[in-house]
Amino acid sequence: MQDIDNIAVVGGGVMGSGIGQVFLQNGYTVSVRDIDADILEAAEERIRSGNYGLDRAVEGGYLTEAERADALDRLTLTTDLGEAVEDADLLVEAVTEDLSLKGQVFQAVDAVTEDIPLYSNTSGFSVASIANAVSDPSRVAVAHFFNPAPVMPLVEVVQSEQTDQAVVDLMEELCEAVGKEPVVIDDAPGEYGFVANRCYAAMREEARKVVDEGVATEEQVDTAMEEGYNLPVGPFSLAGLGEEWD
């Protein structure tokens, strides 16, 4: 794998801080850029002592106290995009799921970076629609981490026809290096996103129908799916139907 030391994360919300933490825990230097100091403070707090943060990792024996301190030393928080990307070897965008905002962010990133790979953590916009915003779309792919990023192994790496193979390979290798399970897929998001969310949506829709038709209760559907398909939790326990999920 190409040498990667510094990673810029644009957007320090739930996903950006989780993704940043994954890389910090694995020895990388991470700069998180968000729009104001309070949000960045919350991002640091989440990384440090959130439900899936570094303190929990220490408590669980996954990280030593020295490793936690070292990880936090490698974290920079900034509102200055130029500073965030200064030494970055690659960038992960995790701003709010709004295509025009992502377009503006990628335009701004394009203006301050040369040729580093750019990844979006979008839940369902096509790579092509995001890559439009930069002058060289071949450096853009999606890296869809799942929530909570420090815990969930899956990363959907999505490539468009324009994406440079090296950009895809790099994210695949990087995911493996940090203990994630990458699945490389083509750029054809459906209404519910890429692969896992599309399939999960289909299961939820059918589960809802089964209950609405009076065939079974929610508890019975969950038991059927847990015991019949070895799912750790059935569709109703995992998330209330009707709620949005990413």
Rule CB under 6 A: which residues touch ligand NAD?
A: 10-16, 33-35, 39, 94-97, 101, 105, 121-123, 144-147, 246
Q: State in angstroms the smallest separation of the CB of 179 from ligand NAD.
A: 18
| Cα–Cα dist 97/156, whole Å | 16
**Nearest residue relative to ligand NAD (C-beta):** 13
Is 123 a residue of the active site? yes
Q: State in angstroms the smallest separation of the CB of 220 from ligand NAD.
A: 28
Active-site entry in 121, 156, 160, 172: 156
Q: State in angstroms the smallest separation of the CB of 120 from ligand NAD.
A: 7
| Cα–Cα dist 177/173, whole Å | 6
Find all residues with CB under 8 Å of 37, minimum gap 6, and list them.
79
Q: Given the complex with ligand NAD, which of 71 and 95 has the nearer CB atom?
A: 95
Burial of 180 (0-12, 13-18, 19+ CB in 10 A): buried
Q: Given the complex with ligand NAD, which of 52 and 211 has the nearer CB atom?
A: 52
Is 173 a residue of the active site? no
| Cα–Cα dist 178/19, whole Å | 11
Query: What Cα–Cα distance (Å) separates residue 168 from each residue in 85, 95, 173, 179?
Result: 20, 21, 9, 17
Active-site entry in 123, 126, 160, 172: 123
Q: State in angstroms the smallest separation of the CB of 122 from ligand NAD.
A: 5
Q: State in angstroms the smallest separation of the CB of 128 from ligand NAD.
A: 16
Is 156 a residue of the active site? yes
Alpha helices in 74-144 (DSSP H): 81-85, 99-112, 127-131
Q: Given the complex with ligand NAD, which of 2 and 51 has the nearer CB atom?
A: 51
Residue where the block lists tokens 């996103």 = 193
Q: Given the complex with ligand NAD, which of 149 and 168 has the nearer CB atom?
A: 149
Is 129 a residue of the active site? no
Find all residues with CB under 8 Å of 31, minimum gap 6, and list them.
6, 7, 8, 9, 75, 76, 77, 78, 83, 84, 85, 86, 88
Q: Given the complex with ligand NAD, which of 6 and 197 has the nearer CB atom?
A: 197
Nearest to 23 by CA among 120, 82, 97, 91: 91
Active site amino acids: 123, 144, 156, 197
